[in-house]
Amino acid sequence: MAQLFFRYSAMNSGKSLELLKVAHNYEEQGKRVWLFTPSIDDRYGVGKITTRLGLQREAMPTEKLFNINELLMKERPYCILIDEGQFLTKDEVMCLTVLVDEYDIPVIVYGLKNDFRNNLFEGSQYLLIYADKIEEIKTVCWYCNRKAIMNLRIDENGNGVYEGKQIEIGGNDRYRPVCRKHYYSPIKNKEGDIYKE
């Protein structure tokens, strides 16, 4: 019986790498997978899943989930993998539940749980409600060895940012995975740049 999985973590935990590993494992057995990613994350081009290690795969934009019947007429996947699940809309999450419940196709979604203000993203909120299994991918704080549970947005001077629009696409240049302590007090060196202890 298929299930909807939500695998979440703070930034920089290897979520995209894990997704590509799962895709490889299915494909090595000759099993077709569909990869999706929201169009809003266009750092490396629309429809691309890219890891910090430089691995990259083509993916369909999540907007295509609304044409799922048309897609299924062409081929049927063994599994559907979605990157950056925090950017899904409620309607897209509901499409995923249909794929699991009506078509018996497993769906695994990777993404952030909370934003830089520690509020849930829309996609994360509905994945937490509707997912059959919720799994944490652990990573460590940028500044210490505690578990990172938050995402710290930083400005060009290395200062923590706690106000602003929810979605601002970026990588290590804009965000740090942090523990609760260092979310509120990031560490700086003499030049003012944030550094690791």
DSSP 77-127: -SEEEESSGGG--HHHHHHHHHHHHTT---EEEEEESB-TTS-B-HHHHHH
pLDDT per position as a tens digit, 39-98: 777 676 777 887 777 787 889 888 888 777 788 888 899 999 999 999 999 999 999 999
pLDDT per position as a tens digit, 101-134: 999 999 999 999 999 999 999 999 999 999 999 9
Domains of the chain, first to last: 4-138 (3.40.50.300)
Note if 84 is an active site residue: yes
The reported pTM is: 0.88
Q: What is the pLDDT of residue 190?
A: 42
**182 Cβ neighbours under 8 A, 6+ residues apart:** 141, 142, 143, 144, 146, 152
User: What are the Cα distances from residue 22, in Å, to 65, 107, 171, 194, 196?
Assistant: 20, 12, 22, 34, 31
- Report for 9-13, 133-137, 160-164: range of highest mean pLDDT: 133-137
Q: What is the pLDDT of residue 120?
A: 96
- Point out the catalytic residue in the list 84, 135, 168, 197: 84
